Structures are given as structure tokens and as C-alpha cells.
Structure 1
Amino acid sequence: MRILIAEDDFTSRAMLAAVLRKSGHEVLEAGNGAEAWEMLQQPQAPKLVIVDWMMPELDGLELVRLVRSLPTDHPPYLIMLTAKGEKADIITGLDAGANDYLGKPFDPGELRARVEVGSRMIEMQAALIASREALVHQATRDPLTGMFNRRAILDHLDKELAHARRHGELLAVGMCDIDHFKRINDTHGHQTGDEVLCSLTQIFKHSLRQHDTVGRMGGEEFLVVSTMQAGADCRLPFDRIRQLVADSRIATRSGDLAITLSIGVALAGSGATVDTLLEASDLALYRAKGAGRNRVVLAQDQEDTPISLPGEDAP
């Protein structure tokens, strides 16, 4: 484990480092609180820190308080090193945010034991965070395709709408539907249909831009949320997806299949809502289906004017 020792006394710091290195730890050293604070703000900062109470420039209590103010899911484990043996002083250090304390002069056995406790706590914290992240991933992902599920993609759309309002960006959503998907299920079976959905997921991943996001709305419908520069042709990214799907052959247990997408696209103004965008893109999708499928239809083209959204005046 990487351990930082923040101690201004060279002899004490050298003795601490020697014991820890002998125990197999990687040790970093800081001669004052300011130097330690700078090291602890780095991306790969040590997860366990031994902090001397009395240091120049920035004392141990101030350093502990600063570390605890950092916004992070992986806070370091802090051991306060102090010659102050009064219970009130120990409580002060713990109240400031220290996890444990070690008296000076320190006993090597006690040092190793307290560091071992800290290591176990860090491992437990990492395991809890990993479990939480796994649960979050499971709650937001479609179990078949691994894409965002309906709830997650709509939450993302809501956030992107707020961001677009703040920064005056162009936001487009595309409702994508696999043409004649029921025919695939009826002819080849639902397992083949599932393979088509999973293969389409891979096509999305390779065709979408970095700032595009896709989620499965349900069945064979997918929603693409795309941010664009003002004045950009909003059809282009969606037509690129459509063309790539049309040009692909999907390998399935029933053989290679050809599929196409129909896509309805709606643009968001400053007063757009998730509901208005979904309704507009759905209507555009129906128009794409009615016009022969395998095409992109823009909702605003229905009346040759932008959609009238809440809070906006139609030109």
C-alpha cells in the first residue's frame, strides 16, 4: 500500500518510513503540511496518511480538515501522530476528521497494527463502493443489450435538456425503430430477435459520436440523444446510423439477416420538455414508417416550422 508520512522531524519521519517499508509498503514523505496537502490533491494520492500534529506552514489539524473537505468517494484513512496525550487532544484530532491516532514516541508494533487496521478499512470501503457502483449499473442498464434502460436514458435526456438551456446548445433526439421486427421474431424466433437487438447495440456503439448517448426504450425502439453545434444539419448523425445499419449483415443463428431502421428526430428549443420531445419524435417516426421505412424524418418538417414547445413562440 502507498502511505504518505507528513512529519517535519527528519529522524521521526525516517524511523516511520523504515518500519513501513520493512512491512512491504510504498512510502512517500512530506516535510510539512503544505507539501503533504499538495500531494494529497493529486489523482493517485495515497489512501493512507500518517499526519504529525505539529508541523510548519500547515499543522496536522488544518491538513486533516482540508483533506476531509475534498469531494471524493475515496477519502484517505488518516492517522494522527501526536505527542499530545491528553484525552481532550485526542478527541480534538478525531473530531477534525482523523480516523485513528498514534502517540509519540511510537511503538513499531503498534504502528504496524494501526496501519493494518487502516488497510482493512480501505479495502472494505473499496469493496462497498464497487458493490454500490455495480448496483447502480444494474439499475440503469437494459439486461439484454447492456445499453441504458428506459429510465436511465430519459434521466439523461432531462439532464441534457437542462444543460442545453444553460449553454444555448442544440439538442436533438432520435426515436429509432427496427423495421418489420415482429416479422423477424415470427419467422426466426425470439432468440434470433434478441441476437439482432444485441448486434444493433454494437452498431450503435461504433456509429455514435462521443457526445451521443443511446438507450433502449423497450422492444425494438431505441432513443438517441445528440448534442450539436448551432446551425449543424441535425439529420446527418441519424442518417449515418441508418445507413450503417442498412449496409450491415447481422449474423444470427438463423443466418445473416438484413435490417433497416426508421428514425424520427425532434429538436429541442429552450422550453422543450422530455414529454414534448418524445411525442414529437414518435410522430416523426410514424411518418417515417408511413413513407416507406428505412429513412430519417425530422419532426419540424411536418409544418415547415419549428415545433411549438412550452415557453417558445412559433415563428
Structure 2
Amino acid sequence: MTARILVVDDIPPNVRLLEARLTAEYFDVLAASSGPEALALCQEGVCDIILLDVMMPGMDGFEVCRRLKANPATAHLPVVMVTALDQPADRVRGLEAGADDFLTKPIDEVALVARVRSLARLKVVIDELRSRASTTLAPGLDDDLFAMNGDDGRRGRILLVDDRQSSSERIVQALGAQHEVTVESDPHETALRVAEDACDLLIVSLGLANFDGLRLCSQIRSMERTRSLPILAIAEPGDRARVLRGLDLGVNDFLTRPIDRNELVARTRTQLRHKRYADSLRSKVQQSIELALVDPLTGLNNRRFLENYLALMVDQAQRRRAPLALMIFDIDHFKRVNDTYGHDAGDEVLKGFADRLRRVIRGGDLLCRLGGEEFVIAMPNVSVAAATKIAERTRSAIEEQPFIIDKAGRTVAVTVSIGVAGPGAEGDPESLYRRADRALYRSKSDGRNRVSADAA
């Protein structure tokens, strides 16, 4: 997987060294020699990942990182801090500034490429979610709604897989004040437990006594329900090859024993922030699907859904040589309700009408609101004659029982006109709809509050 990498360093030989290594792995590389230049390039959206040197004159890397993460337009960009500082406190400072990872000079080239590839995968997922979610937002609102900096990375549900009691106790002690940590000492039970009990982060020891920790990570990644669950691996000293393999398998981050408490806390919070950000974007995508296909007032599917799904129902009826009935309902003189009682009362009538139609349909039927006061029911395996009887019972029930329009218990009586039709010789959804609409028009022109059928 390729990506556009921005290398930020004020020393040209360092830039050339990283550029040569990354270009050899088919990454596109850009360069910036100062913090302000890097911020400007990131604002233009020309890069996917930032390799940021810490020790720069003027604005250091920590400040650049803080500004990137504080800006909603750039907060989602993965940042890797690169520095000669090798103390845990330095790594923690970078992570607390918002960095996604930390590399120490001299840079291990294999680790560099593995880290960049891992973050490139994350960036692809985030970009896709942002793109889908943004389709529902008004222009100019994207950046504010997509900001990452509102979550503190605390109060997570963490599952720790570690069969060494002394090790697990230290990790629980470090994280327990901020998170709910559950320990699983049997790795064979982990996959089932993660699938059944929702958690926000999985921490896996790669030094399990009788189980391959990398295989466990692979299993978690292969299951659809846990594919996006962040994984933090705990590696043994000198276990570099397995760490790199884990990053290739989809492990999000790792720590090497002995574990620095503050770094563990910081990396845990980083992973939780990433997960919650991705979850919020997925939620926006789901909302966009619902907005596109569901009527917000009644909760029924809308006209767009009908246009897509009715074609499938007609095709299935033809292939199975089975009947199909379509009913169109139009509330009579609905404008009078709005004019007399107000639009709030009209909305209550529409919601109540939708609820009554829900009682009519079966599991395989399709119920939609076309818009305004028009509704549609499509019934597979129901003849026009049978659908006409169902429509008549529905019409009679609507007429006999008024609708409650406010908390005071006021009611209003309405009637409904209905048109019923079945597929004709044309065998397409458009002609079926036109036939039912023609029958509805006949019901309205004949005096309303009646059912008309067009079987031809």
C-alpha cells in the first residue's frame, strides 16, 4: 500500500536519507524544512502521513504536532515523531502532543517501513469514512464535525490477554484508574470472548507460554465483527522480527518490555481516540444511509427505497410466476387538517396513519411513505382481489377510529382513498405503479373514501 509521506526536517541529509528509503518502497515523498512550511503543506491536503523531526529551530516538532491535531482539517493525519531523544518521557511527550507513533534515531529502516504501512492502512480507512460521512453535511461544516480533539482517550473497555500474573497485574494497575480492564489468561477463549463482549482495545502479550500471540492477532483481524478493533501488542526484548510481522498482520501499535507505565497509558489513549473517531465516522455513514432511504417523520422507507426495491419484487414475482399487489393510500383532504389544527397536528396524523399501516403488513411486505399524505404497500404473493379486501378493511378502520393529535387528547377524523393494482403485461415496476396510481385517481374522482382496483 502506497501513500504520500511528508518528511519534516531542517537537516537536508536526513531528508534525503528518509526520501531514498521510502521511495524505494514506492511511497511518494514530499519535504518541508520548517514547522510553518509543514503546516501549510498539510493544510493543502497534499500528504497522507507526516514524519516529523522534533529538534527544529523556531517551532519544534512537539508544537507542530499540537497545531496539526488542534486543526480539524489536519487532525486526522497520522504523525510519526522522529528524534534522537530516546527516553520514555520524550516518547510520552510526543504521544501527549497527539503523535501517532515515535521513532528514535538512528532509524531502523525495516521498522520505519512497517510503521508507515500500518499508518497508511489506517489513513485509507479514515479517508473512506470521512468521504462517505461528508456527503450528508452542509458545505463548510465538515471540519468542525470531523474534529478529533474532543475525546480524551479515557474510560475505555480493555481486554488484556496475558498468561503471566505479575505482568497482567502491573498493566491493570497502570490502566485501571482510567479504564475498565479485563484480563484473559487463556488465549484460546479470547476470540470468542471478544466477539461476544464488546471492548474498545485488545492488548496482547506476544510472549504467551502455550499460544502464538501473532496467530491470535490474526484471528481477531480475520473476524468481521472485530476487524476494526485496535490491537496493542506487548513484545519481548529483542523480538523485533515478530513485532514487524505483527504490524504487517494489522497490529496497530506495540510496546517492548520492560513497559514504561506512562508510555503504556499514552499509547492506550491514542488507540482509543483513533477507534472512537472511526466509530463516529461510521455512525455518520449509517445516518447518511438512513437519511437517504428512511422518512424521518414516520420512520418508514421513502420513495427512493421504493424505486429500488419494487423493481426487485416485480422481478421475483415474474420469475416465480407469483402474484404481486401494490396499494397506494392518499389521506383525503389532508390539507384541511393542517389548515384547521396546524402542522403539528398533521404530523401526528401522518405518524398515526403509518402506525396503523404497520399493523396491516406481513414480514415480507414493503411499506413506504411516498411523500406528503401518500403511502404505498407492496404485497408479494397476494392477488389483486385479496389485496382489495385488505385495503377495504384498512379503509374502514381508518374511517371508524379518529386520530389523537395532541397531549390533551383532541382527535380528528380522516378518511383515505386507495388504489390497488397488480403487474400487467409490461412486467415493470413503473407500469405497476402507474396502474395503482390510476386506480387511486378513480377512487378520488368517484368521491374519495373508497377502494378502486386495476387488475389489468
Same fold (TM over 0.5): yes
Aligned to 2:326: 173
Match of 1:70 among 199, 203, 223: 223
Would you say the 8 A contact 2:329–2:374 is kept in 1? yes
Aligned pairs (5 A) from 1:12-23 = 12-23=167-178
Map 1:128-207; keep pairs closer than 5 Å.
128-142=281-295, 144-160=297-313, 171-181=324-334, 188=340, 191=343, 193=346, 196-205=349-358, 207=360
| Kept in 2: contact 1:171–1:267 (CA 8 A) | yes
1:261–1:294 CA contact under 8 A, matched in 2: yes
With over 3 angstroms needed to count, the CA separation of the structure-2 counterparts of 1:26 and 1:51, relative to structure 1, is closer
- Count of aligned residue pairs for this structure pair: 296
**1:309 corresponds to:** none
How many Å apart are 1:113 and its aligned residue?
1.8
Q: Which residue of 1 aligns with 2:88?
A: none
Displacement after TM superposition at 1:39 (Å): 1.4
Amino acid of the residue matched to residue 39 of structure 1? R
Cα deviation digits, residues 248-283 of structure 1 (max 9, x gap): 213459x743222222234469x9543233123223
Aligned to 2:275: 122
Corresponding position of 2:431: 276
The aligned residue for residue 313 of structure 1 is: none
Partner-residue secondary structure (3-state), 2:224:
coil
CA contact (8 A) 2:366 2:377 kept: yes
Higher normalized contact order (CA 8 Å, seq sep 6+, divided by chain length) = 1
Alignment deviations for residues 11-56 of structure 1 (CA, whole Å, 9 cap, x no partner):
3334333433344413141422x321121222x3322101122446
Q: In structure 2, what is the Cα distance between the partners aligned to 1:211 and 1:239?
A: 20
| Counterpart in the other structure of 2:373 | 220
Q: TM-score, normalised by structure 1?
A: 0.75
* Fraction of identical pairs, as percent: 32
Task: Give yes or no for the alignment of 1:41 onto 2:191.
Answer: no
> Please, what is the CA RMSD of the aligned residues?
3.7
Q: Which 10-residue stretch deviates more, 204-213 or 122-131?
A: 204-213
SS across alignment from 1:41 = helix
Q: Which has the larger radius of gyration?
A: 2
Kindly provide the amino acid, as one letter, of the partner of residue 163 in structure 2: D
Q: Retained in 2: the 8 A contact 1:288–1:295? A: yes
Q: Give yes or no for the alignment of 1:53 onto 2:213.
A: no
After TM superposition, the score normalised by the length of structure 2 is 0.54
Query: Aligned to 2:180, which of 20, 25, 37?
Result: 25
With over 3 angstroms needed to count, the CA separation of the structure-2 counterparts of 1:257 and 1:120, relative to structure 1, is same
CA–CA distance in 2 between the matches of 1:124 and 1:247? 51
Alpha-carbon distance in 1 for matches of 2:443, 2:226: 46
Shift of 1:190: 7.2
Cα 1:16/1:252, change in 2 over 3 Å: closer
Distance 1:167 1:115 in 2: 55
| Paired position in structure 2 for 1:7 | 162
